[in-house]
Each structure stands twice: as C-alpha cells, then as structure tokens.
Amino acid sequence: MHVRVAPRAHPRVLNAALILTCAVTVAWVAGCRSDPSDQITAEWMLDPSPPVAGGELVARVALRDNAQRPVVGAKLHLEGQMSHPGMMPVLSDLIERGNGNYEAHLKLTMAGDWVLVLTGEIPGGARITKQIELPGVRTAG
C-alpha cells in the first residue's frame, strides 16, 4: 500500500510525527528510570515512641508493594544519623520477622534531631531507600 500526502500537509504530518516520536521516547525513558523505592511502601513502628536517647530503640518496618503484598526476602540495613554534621551514625541490619516485617535495634547516642535511613536490596536485585525523621529526641527522665 502506498500513501501519498498532499504537499501542503507535509509540515503538519512531519510535526505530528516528531511530537509523537518525542512523546514515546520520553515515556520510554521515564519507564526505564523508575525508582524501585517508589513501588515499595514502608510503614514504621518505633518502640519506644517517641524515641529516647541513651536507651534501646526497636525499629519495626513493614514493606509492601503497590498491591499491598508483603515484600519478603529483602536484605536491609538501618542507619541512624544526627541532623548536624560530624556525628558518628548508629548502624544495624534488619532481621526479617515474616510477612514483610523487619526489625532492627539501635541505640540513639544523644538527644537531638535524628534521621533513620533504611537502605537495601529487594528480591530481583532492585535497591531501595526509605527514611523517617525523628525530631527532638530527648534523654530519659
């Protein structure tokens, strides 16, 4: 089959083809760059809540995919960071407790503002990063 386009229609057809090609390319590139972290939700449960400096903090994290199915088999690491530079982070690996639930034990070393950063790898090799802010952690007593 052969299609012939009238000479006056050429610029419009070329512009439409160019716009369509650009739109498809942008959509394809965006799909290739999707962040696996966007596909996973993390529900945080802290004990005690609010956290206390100097004592043990148990951080429980429930990972779910977009369909709310548990994410099992993840290899996760938790880092507690003070919000100001120069402080050593506190570190812990998370232990899987089943059904997409993970647990870590940390000791927040001093009062102040903290950020917990969860990093790791989910099955299939995708990397994830999640975080939660802990403002105004106080000392016990």
* pLDDT tens sequence across 47-87: 999 999 999 999 999 999 999 999 999 999 999 999 878 88
Distance, in Å, from the CA atom of 34 to the CA atom of 43, rounded to the nearest integer, reads: 21
* 36-139 belongs to CATH 2.60.40.1120: no
pLDDT reported for residue 84: 79
Higher pLDDT, 38 or 61: 61
Give the residue extent of every domain in the chain. Answer: 36-139
Task: Work out the percent of the chain whose per-residue pLDDT is above 90.
Answer: 67
Contact between 104 and 78 (Cβ < 8 Å): yes
Q: What per-residue confidence (pLDDT) applies to 79? A: 97
How many other CB atoms are found less than 10 A from the CB of residue 108? 21
The pLDDT-based confidence of 21 (bands split at 50, 70, 90) is: very low
Tracing tokens 């975080």 back to the chain, one arrives at: 131
Neighbours of 106 (CB within 10 A): 20
pLDDT at 113: 95
| Helix, strand, coil share of the chain (percent; to 5) | 20, 50, 30
- Tokens, residue 39: 């596909």
Q: What pLDDT, in 10s, does the model give residues 108-120? A: 999 999 999 999 9
In the predicted structure, residue 18 carries a pLDDT above the cut 90 = no
What are the C-alpha distances in Å from 77 to residues 58, 61, 107, 136? 14, 11, 15, 23
